[in-house]
Structure 1
Amino acid sequence: MGALPFTEYFRSGRGVEETPVETQQSRPCETLEDSGKLAVVEEIERSGALAFWATDADGHTVYLSPSVRERLGVPPECPIEEKLQRLLVPVDGDGEGRSLGLKLTTRKRFSNLTVRSADEQHDVVLKLAGSPLRDDAGEFLGFRGTALDITEEFRSEEEADRLAKFDSLTGLANRHRMEQRIDSTLHAFKIAKRCAALMMLDLDKFKQVNDTLGHAAGDQLLQQVAERLRSVIGGRGEIGRLGGDEFQVLVPDIDDRGELGEIAKTIIQMLSQPYPVEEGRAIIGCSVGIAIAPYDGVARDELTRAADLALYASKNGGRGQFRFYAADLEHEANLRKRMEEDLAEAIEAGHFALEYQPVVTPTDNRVVALEAKYCWADEERGRVAPETFLPVAEGSRLIVPIGEWAIRRACEDALGWPECLRISLPVSPVQFEATGFVAAIDKILEDTGVDPARLELRLPESVLLGEAAKVDQALATLFKLGIRLVLDQFGSGLSSLSYLRRAPLGALRIGGEFFEPVMGNDLGDMELVKAVVALGGAMGMETVASGVHALELMHELKRLGIDQVSGFVYSEALSAEQVGEEIAKGEWTLAPTDSGAQRASRRTLLRRIGLIHEDHYCDVTLRNLSRSGAMIQGLEGVPIGTPFVLDFGQGQLAVCTVKRTMGDTQGVEFEQELVDDGAGGLCTRHRVSPYELAAAGAPLAALPPGKYAMAPDNATGTGFAQFALSPNAPRQTGRKDAA
């Protein structure tokens, strides 16, 4: 119906509560008292202090005060055909108006129900009260009630609540709200046996932005960080800013460490891209620590501490990384501190050496360059792999003196080799950004007298994302010195074509991750390699493929037009003395050899792990590890096709099958590939669930270190029914049941 004044509605008989319409029409006139009441009601309605509404027996709105109609965008001349619960929805409801509809359906009096317009275009909040209307026979006629406009008060309270729960700068949840959300989520999920991941984020180099560009630029950057985090996380979780440059992300119902690792990588990549601010362009990075409930903790304090430890480990690992929590992180922190001290002593003691891996042109098999690789021979640790100590050196900035030593040593070694042979060395972002880096290179060239054209510096893509003016100046100076600059691990970072055009680069170098098997091609992503070759050719750059180990792959790269190749397909790394011996033989060429199928990069490891077969458990030695498989030692007489479960500790169980067997050593293939742990290592996607352990009788708690074989009591831990432990097997320590 149209918008009648409430007095007209009342006089029409539709609003009479006690007397039927027919009875009202028989009254000769209204009393003076009734007329006075109606005048008061009409004045109240006209003032907007209070509004009125009514529905019929079917719930359709038959009256709504003009002031409310106007706020809801309903024209005065149009009848209202919607049910009231379609026009107004409870503020704390689910958006469908079910709570209001339920109250109307029960036909009982109600009051103090806060509702808002169902149409988000109209900003109005009302407090409703209503009473059922019945005739003399008790027949329900509908509802009649009042509406109080509380929009302004509600908005004020909402803003106060928002300020109490949300960060005023970024609009993200603040520390207090995140604590409440984590507490409530973990409590509910513990009952429902669900999982949740907590990510701790810390911005790298944010203080530098504040110091150089000012706090206003820092505030703009933080707002952009918040927007980028929202774009990555979307509706999958809650994001909070704890203060300063610390952020937190709560992601429910994900315990797949492969998926969480991809989210962390995306966050790191997104937050590492340049930020436009009024004062110029800002560059920062991000480190991420990840803990998962209930595996790493079942209470907020436990989970937060675990994520903090993982974040600390990622920052110490060289920044720009993510780490999952592991029980040995505290021990790792102590080992890292000790390694830092030992690295500092090793520099002084001269315990570092360089080895050189040949770089070959596949068209004629001629060696044209040597890639220098770090070697550290420690008295206690023995030969330490570069992937083990270089992250520590980066985190402690010891890479600066180590890197300078390496460049000087390589230049000195090159003096005894043919002029046509280049030497290639990696440069880390920490080295490149260190004060005096370019001057140090210039002095090394002057001191050694080596031709600058023979020195090749490999720069990671992250270097190009630094402060544009400084980066451009440093690259230009190095180029003017005559040094060859190569973009290292191209395609694994964030470089863009605009940076490639600006930088005076001589080559693009792609790494072994391009050659890990992909869908449709066991050799890797050859289409992407083809695109890189085309890009290099268009920009006048050579292309170099590193980490090539298989003959078939080398032939394919040669067919695609790769200019240079390095890897085991040609040669392993050689000492300076071995390089001299090869050169002394005359023109240095290397014929490619087939060293086996191109596999995911294997990490050499010599550590004890558990092995489960049927009802038996024993300890074996893990010799090496890759995403798709491993080499284990300790059992004799194992036929090909035997199924095993490897227990890596802390609930990490990997189902595998024996594919090769050589005496007491077996090569196994995993049923499900391992994933990155963020620190250059590998881990299983999933772990033994603490909920399963609790069902078996163990208390619900974070996973402690140890073995998780839930084997029968007859498992002796000393051997297998059909397999014997070899003399090379580690000393058996017995079995620790999960329960």
Structure 2
Amino acid sequence: MPLKGLLSSRSGNASARSGTQGRAGASPTLSDTQKLAMLEDLERSGLGWFWASDAEGRLAYLSPSVAQRLDLPLEELVGQPVAQVFQPAGLGGREKPLSLRLGAHKAFSGVAVRAARREDGAVLRLAGHPVFDDAGRFEGFRGTGADITEEFYREEETERLAKFDSLTGLANRHRMAHLIESTLTAFKAAKRNCAVMMLDLDRFKQVNDTLGHAAGDELLKQVSERLKRAIDRECEIGRLGGDEFQVMIPDLDDRGVLGEIAMKIISMLKQPYSLAEGRCVIGSSVGIAIAPHDGVTREEVVRSADLALYAAKNGGRGQFRFFSGELENEAIFRRRLEADLGTGLSENQLFLKYQPVIEAKSRKVTSLEARICWNHSQRGEIDEEEFASILEGSSLVADVGRWSIREACAHAALWPDSVRVALGVPAPLFNAESFVDDVAEALSETDLPASRLELGISEAVFFGDANQVDRTLGRLFKLGVRLTLDEFGSGYSSLAYLRRAPFDTIRIDSRLVAEADREADGGGKGGAIGGENRELGLVRAIVALAGALGMDTLAGGIESMALNDALVGCGVGFVQGPIYYEAAERETVEAEIMGGGWRIDPSADRTRRARRRTVLRKIHVIHDDHSYEVTLRNLSKTGALIQGLMDVPRGTQFVVDLGGGQLAVATVTRTNGDTQGLEFEQHLVEDGSGGLVTRNRVSPYMLASAGAPLAALSPGSYKAMEGGLGEGKSIPQFGYAPSYRHEHA
């Protein structure tokens, strides 16, 4: 129906209502033609437009300018149901369907709509009022509208920015908090699981400080894209700010699967990044908590994941860690250790251990590498690996570095001239203005020839100012000390600096060596190149490069004979690792080198000490409706060795309670007096820190349904489980061994 028809259909009523306006003194009235012209001018101006529907809800009229704005033919719109022509465009899908508004036959206004066939097109504000005839019969709607496209998208962007990170497009801190809160609340009622991961980037600050904030921003964008690809299941990923990210994965409590996801994230994020400002390599650490096991509310679960992340970073970075009840005390103690470091340095609690570096062909010890340890007044000895994790990021890292150089030089001055001393230089110390002077002073005070000091320079220093790095390396070269490029192959700008820097030795990246170890042992998945695995092919290429540049090569951390033979076969000149000699105290190694010509042959009998919590602990095993306390002597993925029970026949089934909701069904496969070997029905999985855990845990919801109040449950409390650790209903079948009973008493 044209606009003229809409006006004429109501002209009779309009004339009757305006009959008194023709009297003297009243304002002159406009003719219908003038009114029509005025309304058409208004339509053409774009300031307003009109629409109408019939009693059946079909579009009877629409201003032509609106059809043009919607980029749709007017003839295709008129006659169609209004609710099919327009759809609500309200933010967040909160708008009531247009069909309901029209069906109510009530006036409405301020409804944002867009063309149903144009999801991202113009947005209009719609108003309408119902029209009834004199008998009260509904005739349709008449209404107006306005173009609010710019205003709508501006508000939409404002709301989007309030929920999403403007840099990466991921959910922001506020949205993640809301999502986790609402999800856990709903899942508590439905008794469902939900995993939360906290992760941050290792070495990101170095990229920001040296390549600039623009490079840091681009790196964060690439990280967010990799995160999306790494997790191929329903999840929500958020950036909390800086280099902190958070992932929520609903309906997942399988720690085997979660560990695989965490390792995939770590593996993908440590691959090199190409930025306009240069190429860089970073890493990541991941902490994992699972509701309801590690908390019921958002605050509890996020705090648990935070503690797990803190533990993962302290474990050496590039790791994941599940939350456990022990971590809180661990975190508190770690912070105390960091605070005590200044006292440890001032009160001479730090000391050096040394690990030999061996020439591969002659097996002769050529140098001793210093490792810093700490004899803490309360904790006792803190070994070199744990101390390195405490020192990293400390404000005292440069001070400790200076101390170690002076101490190592003083020791080496007493050794035979054929043995050098080596130690790594942390980046903050290398970048200090006084670094070269400090080295020169240490050599002068101890009367140690500069050629007998080897300094390991990490590739991380190359993130600093290139001119300053070149000056420092040049001054060290003139001083006469030997220089080793540490962890070659981890990424940054190795090849460029090899051409310019006066390095004597290249230390092959420990991660590359570890991967080659897996390949040499037959456990890897890497592709072969000419019958040789990929990692060993890279080692061979590094050896060839070093040879062309007149440099030696060193591979450390060798733990197997297969790897040792493979590396020596690749031409690696110098080797180091547990199969040769562990780091030992100064007096021990000095006793060896003072005899002259110290040679060490590799031996498969030498193994690295396991860096995990002792397995020797008390646990419970459940049989029928009785619980027995036993000693867990060792633990593997497939089984365990327990001690304490007598007369347990082979084939007996136990439920092994490892604590914290971890129950594993196991069968006795061998028995000898008070000792039994168990085989697990379902294998345990890695916990990210060298330990083992069950894939799943008994849900606190299950315990609560059995009568225990959810908030009051303590880890490992199963007394309310039906048929479990409740009141005994039968006679216990097994007795304690006499020695165990005495120990237990």
The alignment status of 1:549 with 2:547, answered yes or no, reads: no
TM-score by length of 1: 0.72
What is the aligned partner in structure 1 of residue 225 from structure 2?
A: 231
Determine helix, strand or coil for the equivalent of 2:598. Answer: coil
- CA separation in 1, counterparts of 2:126 and 2:419? 84
What is the aligned partner in structure 1 of residue 660 from structure 2?
A: 650
What is the aligned partner in structure 2 of residue 20 from structure 1?
A: none
CA deviation string 1:303-327 (max 9, x = no partner): 4544555566678788898765544
What is the aligned partner in structure 1 of residue 603 from structure 2?
A: 593
1:175 Cα shift?
5.6
- CA separation in 2, counterparts of 1:437 and 1:637? 68
Equivalence map 1:90-239=2 (5 Å): 90-92=88-90, 99=97, 111-112=108-109, 113-117=111-115, 118-119=117-118, 122-127=121-126, 129=128, 147-155=145-153, 157-158=155-156, 161=159, 176-198=174-196, 223-224=217-218, 227-228=221-222, 230-234=224-228, 236-239=235-238
Determine helix, strand or coil for the equivalent of 1:676. Answer: coil
1:550 Cα shift?
2.3
Equivalence map 1:491-530=2 (5 Å): 497-498=495-496, 504-505=502-503, 506-511=505-510, 513-514=514-515, 517=518, 521-522=522-523, 527-530=533-536
Equivalence map 1:478-627=2 (5 Å): 478-490=476-488, 497-498=495-496, 504-505=502-503, 506-511=505-510, 513-514=514-515, 517=518, 521-522=522-523, 527-540=533-546, 541-583=551-593, 587-595=597-605, 602-603=611-612, 605=614, 608=617, 610-612=619-621, 614-615=623-624, 617=627
> In 2, are the aligned partners of 1:376 and 1:385 still within 8 Å (CA)?
yes
CA deviation string 1:631-657 (max 9, x = no partner): 877678999999877655433556788
When the two structures are aligned, how many residues end up with a matched partner?
A: 695
What is the aligned partner in structure 1 of residue 406 from structure 2?
A: 408
Change (3 A) 1:259 1:472: farther
- CA separation in 2, counterparts of 1:503 and 1:645? 61
Change (3 A) 1:153 1:377: closer
**Letter of the 2:388 counterpart:** L
Equivalence map 1:227-626=2 (5 Å): 227-228=221-222, 230-234=224-228, 236-239=235-238, 241=240, 245=242, 249-253=246-250, 255=253, 256=255, 257-258=258-259, 261-262=262-263, 265=266, 291-307=289-305, 325-340=323-338, 343-378=341-376, 380-433=378-431, 436-490=434-488, 497-498=495-496, 504-505=502-503, 506-511=505-510, 513-514=514-515, 517=518, 521-522=522-523, 527-540=533-546, 541-583=551-593, 587-595=597-605, 602-603=611-612, 605=614, 608=617, 610-612=619-621, 614-615=623-624, 617=627
**Letter of the 2:617 counterpart:** R
Equivalence map 1:56-95=2 (5 Å): 64-74=62-72, 88-92=86-90
What is the aligned partner in structure 1 of residue 27 from structure 2?
A: none
Determine helix, strand or coil for the equivalent of 1:697. Answer: coil
**Letter of the 1:552 counterpart:** A
> In 2, are the aligned partners of 1:273 and 1:494 still within 8 Å (CA)?
no
CA deviation string 1:585-605 (max 9, x = no partner): 554333332238x99965363
> In 2, are the aligned partners of 1:620 and 1:730 still within 8 Å (CA)?
no
- CA separation in 2, counterparts of 1:647 and 1:625? 13
Determine helix, strand or coil for the equivalent of 1:603. Answer: coil
CA deviation string 1:452-499 (max 9, x = no partner): 333333344444434544444434433443333334445567666556
What is the aligned partner in structure 1 of residue 23 from structure 2?
A: none
Determine helix, strand or coil for the equivalent of 1:70. Answer: helix
> In 2, are the aligned partners of 1:646 and 1:654 still within 8 Å (CA)?
yes
TM-score by length of 2: 0.72
> In 1, are the aligned partners of 2:669 and 2:677 still within 8 Å (CA)?
yes
What is the aligned partner in structure 1 of residue 724 from structure 2?
A: 712
1:674 Cα shift?
0.7
Structure 1 portions without partners, runs of 5+: 16-31, 734-739
> In 2, are the aligned partners of 1:240 and 1:249 still within 8 Å (CA)?
yes
**Letter of the 1:594 counterpart:** A
Change (3 A) 1:412 1:685: farther
The alignment status of 1:689 with 2:699, answered yes or no, reads: yes
1:571 Cα shift?
3.0
Change (3 A) 1:97 1:377: closer
- CA separation in 2, counterparts of 1:522 and 1:176? 44
Determine helix, strand or coil for the equivalent of 2:392. Answer: helix
1:551 Cα shift?
2.1
Determine helix, strand or coil for the equivalent of 1:605. Answer: coil
> In 2, are the aligned partners of 1:130 and 1:145 still within 8 Å (CA)?
yes
What is the aligned partner in structure 2 of residue 676 from structure 1?
A: 688
- CA separation in 2, counterparts of 1:657 and 1:352? 48
Change (3 A) 1:319 1:114: same
- CA separation in 2, counterparts of 1:542 and 1:392? 31
**Letter of the 1:698 counterpart:** A
**Letter of the 2:368 counterpart:** L
**Letter of the 1:332 counterpart:** E
> In 2, are the aligned partners of 1:631 and 1:666 still within 8 Å (CA)?
yes
- CA separation in 2, counterparts of 1:6 and 1:330? 75
CA deviation string 1:46-93 (max 9, x = no partner): 444444457899999786432222222236798889986676442248
> In 2, are the aligned partners of 1:128 and 1:148 still within 8 Å (CA)?
no
Change (3 A) 1:603 1:466: farther
- CA separation in 2, counterparts of 1:729 and 1:492? 54
- CA separation in 2, counterparts of 1:655 and 1:462? 48
> In 2, are the aligned partners of 1:548 and 1:566 still within 8 Å (CA)?
yes
- CA separation in 2, counterparts of 1:708 and 1:161? 47
Determine helix, strand or coil for the equivalent of 1:579. Answer: helix
- CA separation in 2, counterparts of 1:353 and 1:665? 43
> In 2, are the aligned partners of 1:600 and 1:628 still within 8 Å (CA)?
no
- CA separation in 1, counterparts of 2:119 and 2:450? 67
**Letter of the 1:536 counterpart:** I
1:206 Cα shift?
9.7
**Letter of the 2:509 counterpart:** I
Change (3 A) 1:307 1:659: same
